[in-house]
């Protein structure tokens, strides 16, 4: 077989992630590779930490990117804070609460499940009852922005409840970081993790995490070794700690960290609050166009993520056929439903660099043309004009 350099097609990524990566970030990734203990690289690492502290809105010293995707960020929080026999209250309202449960059980802990319907936020009353029923619980874990449904839970309230009952908190912010309000210090979150491929619009492969002093103290005072050598924060901080002298832990993904540094610079230049506002404004335009077309949302407006829009598929429409045609004919990627929503919904992402008025119009026009061509029961030809009125307002 005659192998040639791979040339990926140019896509518009409006699914649940990864999101579009800007030329500026791609160019940063192509800069010369240097050593992972090079003084110049260590200087950049310090800047990455500071920029992540800004993105998370925290002063936590233990803030860094794990050298693996968001799932490793999740695992790093659990393996460092949970020991065999610990009881953890896990709130589940979608796919990723289920993955938290898996982490607890694989460590040897006991997961007490607080379950809400998919598309609904975590119910604080249910959590409070679980905390009363299980006074020996050590940790409360929940997803701030549930990627499988587009539902956002009230992180500040859930954290307060956990602390009222002397529990640490682990929070999934994979989809929220950079796209919607997230205030780690103000909300007193103990441990939090995210991913680079959503609203930060960096390539997949890194997982920003942050632990406050309460969590760091719990890690230092463990009875047993952290289950994972690679994710043991006591060891990782020997490499990511303050100052120029670093202990070798692993060979960091150097060029990916260039890309993350650049994407965080872009976020800082725009301003965090401006980024949140941009995501909300473009969501309102997309929402107006989709509703004019006749598509309904899974999540009530009060709890809906602007950057992840889950809409019901019209009756009689083939989910995969629509997504395949959008990809093949329009180079546009949207996401399928997961779990109980598989085949019932589409997930349309408006994340980071992909969150633009141009992409809103392109997505609506493409979806309109495909659905109309398939004879779907929608209102044709009105979505883009309706969205444009919102954009122009």
Which pLDDT score is estimated for 393?
Answer: 83
Domains of the chain, CATH where assigned: 23-268 (3.40.640.10), 272-392 (3.90.1150.10)
Give CA–CA dist 173/23, Å, rounded: 25
**Nearest residue to 147 (alpha-carbon basis) of 119, 187, 183, 171:** 119
Which pLDDT score is estimated for 243?
Answer: 55
Which pLDDT score is estimated for 246?
Answer: 82
Distance of alpha carbon 200 from its chain centroid, rounded? 9
**DSSP characters over 172-184:** E-TTTTTTS---H
- pTM, whole model, 2 decimals? 0.97
Residue 369 has which token pair?
Answer: 């043309």
Give CA–CA dist 170/148, Å, rounded: 19
Length of the chain in terms of residues written:
393
Residue 208 has which token pair?
Answer: 């920003």
**DSSP characters over 197-245:** SSTT---SS-EEEEE-HHHHHHHHT-SS--S-STT-HHHHHHHHSSSS-
The backbone torsions φ and ψ at residue 237, rounded to the nearest 5 degrees and listed phi first, read: -70, -15
285-306 in b/e form (b: 16+ CB < 10 A) is bbbbbbbbbbbebbbeeebbbb
Residue 186 has which token pair?
Answer: 């103000």
Find the largest Cα–Cα distance for the chain.
Answer: 65
pLDDT tens by residue, the chain, 393 residues: 899 999 999 999 999 999 999 999 999 999 999 999 999 999 999 999 999 999 999 999 999 999 999 999 999 999 999 999 999 999 999 999 999 999 999 999 999 999 999 999 999 999 999 999 999 999 999 999 999 999 999 999 999 999 999 999 999 999 999 999 999 999 999 999 999 999 999 999 999 999 999 999 999 999 999 999 999 999 998 889 765 568 889 999 999 999 999 999 999 999 999 999 999 999 999 999 999 999 999 999 999 999 999 999 999 999 999 999 999 999 999 999 999 999 999 999 999 999 999 999 999 999 999 999 999 999 999 999 999 999 998
The backbone torsions φ and ψ at residue 109, rounded to the nearest 5 degrees and listed phi first, read: -90, 175
């Amino acid at each position: 077989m005659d192998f040639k350099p791979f040339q990926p097609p140019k896509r518009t990524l409006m699914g649940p992630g990864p999101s579009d990566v800007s030329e500026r970030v791609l160019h940063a990734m192509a800069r010369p590779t240097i050593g992972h203990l090079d003084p110049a690289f260590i200087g950049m690492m310090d800047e990455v930490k500071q920029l992540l502290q800004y993105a998370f809105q925290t002063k936590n010293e233990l803030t860094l990117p794990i050298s693996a995707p968001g799932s490793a960020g999740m695992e790093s929080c659990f393996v460092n804070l949970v020991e065999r026999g610990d009881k953890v209250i896990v709130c589940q309202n979608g796919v990723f609460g289920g993955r938290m449960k898996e982490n607890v059980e694989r460590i040897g802990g006991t997961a007490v499940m607080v379950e809400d319907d998919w598309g609904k936020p975590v119910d604080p009353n249910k959590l409070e009852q679980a905390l009363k029923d299980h006074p020996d619980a050590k940790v409360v874990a929940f997803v701030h922005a549930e990627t499988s449904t587009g539902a956002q839970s009230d992180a500040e309230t859930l954290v307060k409840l956990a602390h009222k009952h002397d529990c640490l908190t682990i929070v999934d912010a994979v989809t929220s970081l950079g796209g919607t309000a997230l205030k780690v210090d103000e909300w007193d979150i103990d441990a939090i993790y995210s991913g680079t491929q959503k609203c930060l619009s960096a390539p997949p492969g890194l997982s920003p995490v942050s632990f406050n002093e309460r969590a760091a103290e719990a890690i230092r005072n463990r009875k047993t070794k952290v289950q994972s050598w690679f994710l043991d924060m006591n060891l990782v901080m020997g490499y990511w700690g303050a100052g120029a002298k670093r202990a070798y832990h692993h060979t960091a993904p150097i060029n990916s960290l260039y890309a993350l540094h650049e994407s965080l610079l872009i976020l800082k230049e725009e301003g965090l609050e401006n980024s949140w506002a941009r995501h909300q404004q473009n969501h309102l335009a997309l929402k107006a166009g989709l509703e004019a077309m006749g598509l309904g949302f899974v999540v009530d407006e009060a709890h809906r993520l602007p950057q992840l829009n889950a809409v019901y598929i019209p009756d009689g429409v083939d989910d995969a056929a629509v997504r395949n045609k959008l990809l093949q004919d329009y180079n546009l990627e949207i996401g399928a439903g997961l779990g109980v929503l598989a085949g019932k919904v589409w997930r349309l992402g408006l994340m980071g660099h992909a969150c633009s008025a141009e992409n809103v119009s392109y997505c609506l026009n493409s979806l309109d043309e495909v659905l109309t061509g398939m004879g779907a029961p929608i209102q044709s030809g009105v979505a883009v004009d309706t969205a444009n009125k919102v954009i122009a307002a």
